[in-house]
Amino acid sequence: MRIFRRLTIRWRIALGTLAIATVLSAAAVFAFRAQVERILSTTTTTLLTHDSAPYVAEILAHPGEKLDPPARGQLVAIVDPNGGVVASTLPKGLRAKTAKIVTMGDDVKSIVVGDDTYRVLNETVVTASGNWHVVAARNQDTSVLSLDQITQALVVGAIVIVIGFGIASWLLTAASLRPVSRMRQQAKALVADGSTEPLPVGPAADELSALATTLNEFIADVRQSLDRERQLVSDASHELRTPLAILMTQLELAHLSSGDAEALEAEIVTAQRSVARLSALATGLLELSQIEARASGNGSTWDELVLQLAASVDRSRLLAVAKNVTIDFDVAREPNDANYLIAGGNFGRLLDNLSSNAIAAVEEGGTVRIALWHSPDELVLNVVDDGPGMPEDFLPVAFDRFSRPDEARTKRTGGSGLGLAIVQAIVAAANGRVTLTNSDGFSVMVTVPVVSSQNGHAHKSE
């Protein structure tokens, strides 16, 4: 079995086809031979019955009268009620066994005499004077020879069929695997050329086309992962360069202020803020990379998401105390049994990002309103603040990493520009969507489709 596994697919299919063809051909030969043998046996029985029928009829019609002798070529013996052989054309060896044949019953039997095999039929004729017996025989050598010749022809035919199957499977396998070889060569060429083109998909809707499509999806995922890694490195190097340079300058100033305690403390505090910003930036990049690299999780129920909302509101109110910002929230609709493809932790992170952005954007004493409800097809989260909103021309790029509008919403808060990117990544992983709107403040609408419910029905938001 281990050797078989080491063979190529072409050899395995060819040998497997040969084995199956051999078994089926052998079974067909045995079945056909048995059928022919049965036909020959039935034919011999019919002929024996025809051979004995005239004598049975004559005995019944004229019992006790002299019977006509059997015709030439017929092997027949007639035995009277006293056991005497009235007439017989049986061969000498078979004639000697006539008395024994009469006592063996009326079934057709095979009797071997020397090198010859005979099929013998004993017909018992009941008359007023006693039981007569008509014994008919047929030499089976011709039938046996015919059966042997038929068997040889069947065996030769089966061998030819098996060889034909082997050759056909070899050629068909080669033809079937040829597109795979072409696909492999094209993949090698694409790798060698550094091309980003997908593998060509054939026009036929077959397994190879499905394989090419699946490979293209896998290649696209791998390329996206590599692009994300490159983007992460690029973003990190670009965004960290300036803060690190500032931190280095602050440390140098702190070194120069070593003789002035107040100036040194001021420089240290400033450096701590820079370190905190760098830490927040690195943490945001790591979170974004982790979210984009894997699915959102096994999903959450409505009750679990409501608990995450309540916990996030509590955290947000702690942040809002410093600016006297009011955090209101509303959970509409009764609990349901739906499941949403978003992990509870990710939903809490999404809420924290949106709430902190809203708190940072509103004026002193402002208001942030959070609403959560569901429909039969989706979950809806809406976060609205009464802040200045975003410039309309910035909304299309608001989800890009490190994107910041020039107006007050972010510049005065010192944000890293990763909050909405993280929100978008979480919602995209849950097959949902995010909508930003400037209307009586600023509104963020998040919708997540239902993926399943406890009764087994699936829903999909259009």
Integer Rg of the chain from CA: 48
The residue-averaged pLDDT of 207-224 equals 78
Domain 295-453 has CATH 3.20.20.210: no
pLDDT attached to residue 74: 82
For residue 410, name the pLDDT band (cuts at 50, 70, 90): very low
pLDDT attached to residue 460: 42
pLDDT attached to residue 405: 67
Domain ranges in the chain?
2-147, 193-225, 295-453
**Residue 455 pLDDT > 60:** no
The residue-averaged pLDDT of 347-363 equals 88
**Residue 252 pLDDT > 60:** yes
pLDDT attached to residue 457: 42
**Residue 409 pLDDT > 50:** no
Which has the higher per-residue pLDDT, 267 or 242? 267
For residue 268, name the pLDDT band (cuts at 50, 70, 90): confident
CB 342 within 8 A of CB 299: yes
**Residue 251 pLDDT > 80:** no
Q: In what order do the strands lie in the sheet with 130-139?
A: 85-88, 75-79, 130-139, 116-127, 109-113
The residue-averaged pLDDT of 312-326 equals 90
pLDDT attached to residue 403: 66
Q: What is the mean pLDDT of the chain?
A: 80
CB 385 within 8 A of CB 423: no
For residue 27, name the pLDDT band (cuts at 50, 70, 90): very high
Which has the higher per-residue pLDDT, 252 or 148? 148
**Residue 462 pLDDT > 90:** no
DSSP 232-300: HHHHHHHHHHHHHHHHHHHHHHHHHTTT-HHHHHHHHHHHHHHHHHHHHHHHHHHHHHHHHHS---S-E
pLDDT attached to residue 412: 43
pLDDT attached to residue 401: 65
Phi, psi of 400 (to 5 degrees): -70, 150
Enter the DSSP assignment of 392.
G
For residue 377, name the pLDDT band (cuts at 50, 70, 90): confident
The residue-averaged pLDDT of 2-28 equals 82
Which has the higher per-residue pLDDT, 288 or 329? 329
**Residue 292 pLDDT > 60:** no
pLDDT in tens, 32-53: 989 998 998 888 889 888 888 8
**Residue 224 pLDDT > 60:** yes
The residue-averaged pLDDT of 240-254 equals 70
What tokens does 154 get?
Answer: 């069947």
Task: List, in order, residues 6 or more apart from 26 with CB less than 8 Å away.
Answer: 158
Q: Highest-confidence range of 103-117, 303-317, 336-350, 384-398, by mean pLDDT?
A: 303-317
pLDDT attached to residue 459: 45
Among residues 331, 345, 335, the alpha carbon closest in space to that of 303 is found at 335
Q: Highest-confidence range of 186-190, 412-416, 428-432, by mean pLDDT?
A: 428-432
The residue-averaged pLDDT of 11-20 equals 85
Rounded Cα distance between 320 and 171, Å, is 76
What tokens does 97 get?
Answer: 């066994």
The residue-averaged pLDDT of 249-275 equals 73
2-147 CATH choice from 3.30.450, 3.40.1350, 3.30.420, 3.40.50 = 3.30.450
Alpha helical stretches, state H, 406-457: 408-411, 419-429
The residue-averaged pLDDT of 269-285 equals 69
pTM of the entire structure?
0.46
The residue-averaged pLDDT of 131-143 equals 88
pLDDT in tens, 57-103: 888 887 767 777 777 778 898 888 888 888 888 888 888 888 888 88
